[in-house]
Amino acid sequence: MINLTYNKNFTENEIVRLFKSVEWESANYPDKLFKALKNSETVITLYDESKLIGLMSAVSDGGMNVYFPYLLIDPEYHRKGFGKMLADEMLKKYGSFYRKILICSNEKAMFYKKCGMDIPEDQLPMIKIN
């Protein structure tokens, strides 16, 4: 049975395993990643029984802007609607916010468009990674 939760009861090992399953570089920084998720305003998790299979996180300024740094689903559970479920839940939670922001790879853009996000033609994301 799949359970959606709003708690942060995950362990560092669960987080690292999930991030490694999708080959995200963030898994190479377990301490920083775990701290970032624990300090996020909202983390929605998906569990299959006791296995963490997905999550989405949000960081906001409390009213105008919300940024979604992470949305990931274990590859064993891809194409079952779980990513859309998390995105829908998070967009509902922050529905009153003026600006909802995320950065994704080009191949993921169509997924986020299906979730209701737009690709503005007059704006570009700016990023600096250390």
Q: Does 23 map to a domain?
A: yes
Query: For residue 119, is it within any domain?
Result: no
In a domain, 121, yes or no: no
Number of folded domains that form the chain: 1
- Flag whether 127 is in a domain: no
| Tens-place pLDDT, residues 70-127 | 999 999 999 999 999 999 999 999 999 999 998 877 788 777 788 778 878 887 777 7
Expressed as residue numbers, the domain containing 23 is 2-114
pTM, to two decimals: 0.89
Count, residues in the chain: 130
For residue 101, give the CATH number of its domain. 3.40.630.30
